[in-house]
Amino acid sequence: MAVFLGIKGHDEVLVTEANVAQALGSGSLPVFSTPALIISMEKAALESVQPYLDEGSSTVGVRLEADHLAATPIGMTVRTESELTGIDGRMLLFTIDSYAGDEHVGHCIHKRCIVDADRFMAKAEAKLGK
């Protein structure tokens, strides 16, 4: 594993009728939903470190403290930027910010854990009792 502090990630999402609060059930208005914002934040963090992990490894989200700071209407693009700001063994800490145009619309502190993908999935699937 060659994960190092300062790795940056990026995601962009066009706000559409499919990812607004009204459509996802997280609110009643046609503005970018908090669940969609969080997905963008996690995606930016995940994809930023994935190329640096050992083969067969991935990361899973274990903690997220997010602030959705402003509404974004259909037709705008939300740009998310992540930075790896802490490493403690297998735990990775990210600072993440999202913008619509020049407006700061989201901020997040996010923790992900490096896992062996096969072992992680075997443990999860064992819960099915098969």
Quickly list DSSP for 51-110.
GGSPTTEEEEEEEEEEEE-S--BTT-EEEEEEEEEEEETTEEEEEEEEEETTEEEEEEEE
Each residue's pLDDT, cut to its tens digit, for the chain (130 residues) gives 688 899 999 999 999 999 999 999 999 999 999 999 999 999 999 999 999 999 999 999 999 999 999 999 999 999 999 999 999 999 999 999 999 999 999 999 999 999 999 999 999 999 998 6
Q: What does the pLDDT read at residue 63? A: 98
Of 112, 111, 104, 115, give the one whose Cα is nearest residue 37: 104
Q: What is the pLDDT of residue 130?
A: 64
* Separation between Cα atoms, residue 14 and residue 112, nearest integer Å: 25
